[in-house]
Amino acid sequence: MIVKPADRTANVQEYYFSQKLAQIERMRREGSDVINLGIGSPDQPPSGNTISALIDEANKPSSHGYQSYTGIPALRKAFSDWYGKYFHVTLNPDNEILLLMGSKEGIMHISMAFVNPGDEVLIPDPGYPTYSSVTNLVGGIVKKYNLTEEKGWFPDLQSLERSDLRKVKLMWVNYPHMPTGAKGSIDLFEKLVAFASKHKILLCNDNPYSFILNNKYNSLLAVDGAKEIALELNSLSKSHNMAGWRIGMVAGHSDYIKTILKVKSNMDSGMFLAMQRAAIEALKNPESWNGLINSIYSKRRKIVEEIMELLKCRFDKSQVGLFVWGRIPEEIPDCESYIEEILVKCLVFITPGFIFGKNGERYIRISLCATEEKLNDAKNRIKNFLLPNK
């Protein structure tokens, strides 16, 4: 390489799934029929009215120009109505909601807007790897806090209180939690808001999983005083089967939103109008549509639980979201090698928990984003590998 990369790239690695998808693609080109149960990319379509709205708007000659950085008012109003209906949170669509091209991008926008080089950022372990990688990219210092099965995958705030928090600027939380499926609660959010207020830490909840196999919708912003110290990210990727559309939002105090907009407006040129019109329709989906989607996930989950039982993994049947998270048996010495063996010998890819942090090292995660036929095929392959004579 003739030109030396920026120093910041030395602090991050290529995303694990980027590498693994490339490996799976090579295996498929060589003739292996790999079943991918690793990634939470919904395989069902959005609602029919969502797709119709996209087509109708895209057919208009006037729909293809640049759009507002903040999103059209009608979409911000639709997000506001959605939050009012399901989360019982009042958001001013004019200045408390900012449209994003996916909540993953929002993690970068928020970090660039608030984290200076040397600032510390509290990040859950296990947790979404992007929190750490983005913190490193903006020059922040990753400060992990432990989530453990023994404590229900909730933060130990008493332990955090005993640590040095003077340099902490931001704290990431994610409930319902990925990868563990812990639901969270308003009681937890109240404690988190009190903690963040006491230490003047910007609290950010990443909230894309509320609607998957869950009927209790909680928002951090429902807590009194939360807007003064907190932001919440949300997305249509999981809840509305629109992962590839890249439509999300961040909500919070208008001053925080203005600051994030300074970053965002220098990084994109607005979202295609047809997608925004379609998102408005998606947000109007009746609860019966959510119920139909969850009935499909529920049937799939039963098969995934059978796979977990085949693998002799311990798991919590009350977890929610797009995955099942389970602890591997103690006799398995190394999770990563075990997962690789299943990939090579069974042609089934399962996510090893170590990618989410050291507290995930003895766990695996299986996605529900595959048909019942595919899941049963994966189960049979694993059964034949583990029990070849049965």
Domain-wise residue ranges, the chain: 7-45+288-386, 48-283
Q: Are strands 230-235 and 248-252 parallel, antiparallel or unpaired?
A: antiparallel
At residue 223, does pLDDT exceed 90?
A: yes
Q: Among residues 263, 242, 253, 227, which one has the least CA distance to residue 105?
A: 263
Q: Kindly compute the dihedral angle of the four CA atoms of residues 341, 345, 346, 351, in this order, to the nearest 10 degrees.
A: 20
At residue 15, does pLDDT exceed 90?
A: no
pLDDT, tens only, 92-114:
999 999 999 988 999 999 999 99
Strand ranges across the sheet with 202-206: 97-100, 248-252, 230-235, 202-206, 168-173, 120-125, 141-146
Integer Cα distance of 51 and 67 in angstroms:
20
Integer Cα distance of 204 and 206 in angstroms:
6
- Annotation: CATH topology of 7-45+288-386: Aspartate Aminotransferase, domain 1 (3.90.1150)
pLDDT, tens only, 324-364:
999 999 999 999 999 999 999 999 999 999 999 999 999 99
Burial of 218 (0-12, 13-18, 19+ CB in 10 A): buried
For residue 378, give both structure tokens.
Answer: 């994966």
DSSP state of 45: -
Mean pLDDT of 276-295: 97
Would you state the pLDDT for residue 146? 98
Cβ distance 310 to 375 under 8 Å? no
- Annotation: CATH topology of 48-283: Aspartate Aminotransferase; domain 2 (3.40.640)
Mean pLDDT of 211-219: 95
Would you state the pLDDT for residue 113? 98
Would you state the pLDDT for residue 21? 82
What residue has token string 């439509």? 247
Amino acid sitting at position 9: T
Cβ distance 365 to 335 under 8 Å? no
Q: Where residue 390 falls among pLDDT bands split at 50, 70, 90? A: low
Q: Where residue 16 falls among pLDDT bands split at 50, 70, 90? A: confident
Integer Cα distance of 206 and 220 in angstroms:
9
Would you state the pLDDT for residue 389? 63
Q: Where residue 178 falls among pLDDT bands split at 50, 70, 90? A: very high
Cβ distance 120 to 97 under 8 Å? no
Integer Cα distance of 353 and 355 in angstroms:
5
Find the range with the poorest average confidence among 9-18, 81-90, 103-112, 158-167.
Answer: 9-18
Mean pLDDT of 6-12: 81
For residue 326, give both structure tokens.
Answer: 């389970």
pLDDT, tens only, 51-88:
999 999 999 999 999 999 999 999 999 999 999 999 99
Would you state the pLDDT for residue 7? 85
Helical segments of the chain, H only: 16-29, 48-58, 73-82, 103-114, 129-137, 157-161, 186-199, 254-264, 273-283, 287-310, 335-346, 372-386
At residue 385, does pLDDT exceed 70?
A: yes
Q: Where residue 193 falls among pLDDT bands split at 50, 70, 90? A: very high
Cβ distance 282 to 54 under 8 Å? no
Cβ distance 110 to 256 under 8 Å? no
pLDDT, tens only, 33-51:
999 999 899 999 999 999 9
3-state secondary structure of 98: strand
Question: Is the bond leading into 42 cis (omega within 30 degrees of zero)?
Answer: no
